Amino acid sequence: MATFSHSNPAPAADADITPTSTGLLQPAGSALPNQASTPDTIVTAVAPDTPPATQHADATGPDADGVARANALSNMEHVVDLADSVVCIADDLHERILQEIASYNGRTMPDAQKALLRALTDDELLLRQYAHALYANATTFVIHDLAQPQHRLMALTAEAAEKIRRIGVIGEVTGLVGGILLLVGSIARGQFSQVGAALEKIQLHNAALKTLKPSSPTKT
């Protein structure tokens, strides 16, 4: 069931195990006319220059147990919040996919469109796994000082979720989702040095998407 074809709809038949999100991060081929290729080019131009967010505070042994525990708890709550917002994005994406399917209203969907929706479904699954990873992190209190990136992240993820809800053409979602996947993926794996670049990527996508008028009114 899970081996769907991914973002290259043309040779869709084989079980191609190309990672979905990396596929989506590249300009995704001719089958998707409105694919957000513009933001991607912007990203590659700018992302390398962004200073890496080195928030990897080496656990400076807190003096009092109480302080350490309070920090651990507040960190844990932040991580749970972050995981919740990743779940929200996955929910919005899911909702958007279902809307797209419903808009066909029983008519047969072109294979290319099916392939796109399946690729997005795979992305949704991956987002949910990253949320799981964050929940696991929360329970083990292993994330150190992430407060600052987390705050920025919360704001951005909320904004991204709003975008997904409002985007008119489903193809436009893919670039944004790719950025989010990269971001939460690096957080969940504790690769904090990548967070800055990923944040930048999402920001650029968001900015680019703002200029794109939805081509058709979304059904809310």
Partner 1 sequence: MTRRALVLVGLLVAGCASTGQVSLGEVREFADASARLGGYAELSRRYRDTYERELPYLSPQAERVARDTDARRRAVFDDFVAIQKTLVLYMQTLSLLAGDGRYELSGRVDDLGSGLKAMTDSGLKQRHVAAYTGMARLLTRVIASRYQNRSVDTMVRDGNADVQTLIDAMIVLTRIYEKANENEQKTVLGLFNAEIPMANRNADRMLVTLARVHLQNKTAEYRLIDRRYKLAQQGLTKVALGHQKMRENMDKLRSEETRHMLAGYVHDLNLIRDALSGE
Kindly list the residues in this chain that would bind partner 1 in the complex (CB under 8 A): 1-4, 17, 19-21, 65, 69, 72-73, 76, 80, 83-84, 87, 90-91, 94, 97-98, 101-102, 106, 108-109, 114, 117-118, 121-122, 124-126, 128-133, 135-142, 185, 188-189
* 110 or 210: CB nearest partner 1: 110
* 21 or 203: CB nearest partner 1: 21
* 141 or 168: CB nearest partner 1: 141
Q: In whole angstroms, how close is the CB of 173 to partner 1 at the nearest point?
A: 14
Could you tell me if 190 and 140 are in contact, meaning their C-beta atoms sit under 8 angstroms apart?
Answer: no
* 46 or 125: CB nearest partner 1: 125
**Distance from C-alpha of 84 to C-alpha of 126, rounded to nearest angstrom:** 14
The two structure tokens encoding residue 215: 């081509």
**Distance from C-alpha of 44 to C-alpha of 192, rounded to nearest angstrom:** 20
**Looking up tokens 């200029």, which residue turns up?**
211
Q: In whole angstroms, how close is the CB of 34 to partner 1 at the nearest point?
A: 20
CA distances from 41 to 51, 108, 160, 200, 205 (A): 19, 34, 19, 13, 10
* 108 or 216: CB nearest partner 1: 108
Q: In whole angstroms, how close is the CB of 26 to partner 1 at the nearest point?
A: 15
Q: In whole angstroms, how close is the CB of 126 to partner 1 at the nearest point?
A: 5
* 85 or 203: CB nearest partner 1: 85
Q: In whole angstroms, how close is the CB of 31 to partner 1 at the nearest point?
A: 17
What 148-155 contacts at long range (C-beta under 8 Å, 24+ apart), as own/partner pairs, is 148/55, 149/53, 149/55, 149/187, 149/192, 149/195, 149/199, 150/78, 150/79, 150/81, 150/82, 152/199, 153/82, 153/85, 153/183, 153/187, 153/195, 153/199, 154/81, 154/82, 154/85
Q: In whole angstroms, how close is the CB of 168 to partner 1 at the nearest point?
A: 20
